[in-house]
Chain A
Amino acid sequence: MTELLGIFFAAFLINNILLIRFIALCSFFGVSTKLETSLGMSSAVIFVMTISSAVSWVAYHSVLVPFHLEFLRTAVFILTIASLVQLEELYLKKMIPSLYRAMGIYLPLITTNCAILAVAFLAIDYKYSFIQSLVYSLGVSGGYSLAIILFAYLRERTALAPVPKWFQGYPIAFMTAALMSLAFLGFTRMFGL
C-alpha cells in the first residue's frame, strides 16, 4: 500500500509530467488560455489515460512478450490508443452524453497527446505490475490536471496584466511556466522519494 502511495505521489507532484518531465507541452500551452478548456482537457486525459494504460499493459505483457515482438511496441501502442479513443468516443456519445459534451473536441485531440503514449512506455520501462501501472497513470493524469488548471488561472490573470510588448502572448506564458516549474522542484525528495 505504501509503495502504491509512493508511486502515486511521485507521479503526481515530484515528477509532474508537464512541469518536470516536459511531456504533452503542446496541450499545456495550447488549451490553457481559458479555464473551461483546460478543465475539459484534463477530464478527458484522466479518463483516456487510465483506460489506455490498462489496455496497453495487457497488450504488451500478454501479446508482445509471449511472441517476442517487443520491437513492435511503438506501432502497436499508438494504434491501440488511437482506436481506443474512437471506441471511447462512441461509447460516451451513446451512454453518457453529458460527459461526452463536457469533453467535446478534446477526446479526438487526445490521440496526439504524447502523455498518453509516454505513460504506456514508462509503465513498461519501470517494470510496473498491472495495479502499479494503473496507480501510476492516475498519478500522472492527476498531476497533469493540477498543473494545467493552475496554469489556466495564471494565464487568465496575465492576459489582463501590463506585460512588456515583446513578451506578450507566448513568451510571458513560458515565463509563468518557468516559475511554476520552479515551485514544483520544491517537491523533490519529498516523502523520501
Chain B
Amino acid sequence: MSVWQDFNRGIVSENPVLRLMIGLCPTLAVSTSAVNALGMAAATSFVLIFSNLVVALIRKIVPDQIRIPIFIIVISTFVTIIDYVMQAYTPDLHRALGVFIPLIVVNCIILGRAEAFAYKNPVLASTLDGIGMSLGFTLALLTIGVIRELLGAGAIFGVSLYNPAVAATIMVLPPGAFITIGFLMALLNKWENKVQ
C-alpha cells in the first residue's frame, strides 16, 4: 500500500506543476507542441529518477552540512549525460529545447525531491517517488502541449487536423502558455471543490 502511495503521490495530489507550482519555466517554455513537451518530460524524468536513486543510495554516507552541493553535483552529472545524449541522437529536439536542457539542473522539482524525499527514504521508495513525480510532470506538460498545439497550430504531434490559417496563433506564442495553465489551474480548483 505504502509503495503504491509513493508512486501515486506525484501524479495528482502533489502534481509538481499544477499543485506545487514548481518547475514552471520548462513547462511554459517548451510546451509549444506535444513533441517538444514529451522530449522535455523525458529528459527531466531521466534526471529525476536517477538522481533520486543515487541520492537514496548515498544518503547514509553524505555529511548533513554539505548535502546540497553533493545533490547538485549528482544532478548536474545526469543533466550533462542527457544533454550530450540528446545532442548526439535527437539533434532537432535538442535545438528546439535549447538552454532548457542544461537548466534542468536548477529545476526545483529535482532538488526538491532529493531533499524532501530521497534523502530520508530507502532506494525502492525513492525510485518509485521519482517515477510518480515524473509521470505527474509528464502529464501536466503533455496536456499543456497538446492544448497549445491543437488550438495554436491545428495539429497534434505534428499531424494536421484542420486548416492552420484559422488556428489561434497566439496559443503557440508566449501569452498562450500563461492562458492555458491559468485555465487548467482554475478547472482543477473547480473540480476539487466539487469533489469535496
Contact = CB atoms under 8 A, between A and B. Distances in A.
A20 B174 contact: yes
A136 B38 CA distance: 31
B105 A78 contact: yes
Interface string A107-130: 000001110011001100100000
Nearest to A25: B24
Contacts of A175: 178-179, 182
A4 interface: no
* B contact residues, range: 35 or more
Contacts of B181: 174
A74 to B, nearest CB: 5
A29 interface: yes
- Chain A interface secondary structure, helix, strand, loop or mixed? helix
A75 B99 contact: no
A170 B185 contact: yes
Interface stretch (A38-46, A55-63, A98-106, A176-184): A176-184
Nearest to B18: A170
A166 B99 contact: no
Contact of A171 (B73, B83, B183): B183
A92 interface: no
B21 interface: yes
A178 B99 contact: no
Interface string B162-196: 00000000100111111101110111011001000
8 contacts: A71-B84, A75-B73, A78-B76, A117-B106, A166-B193, A174-B185, A177-B178, A178-B176
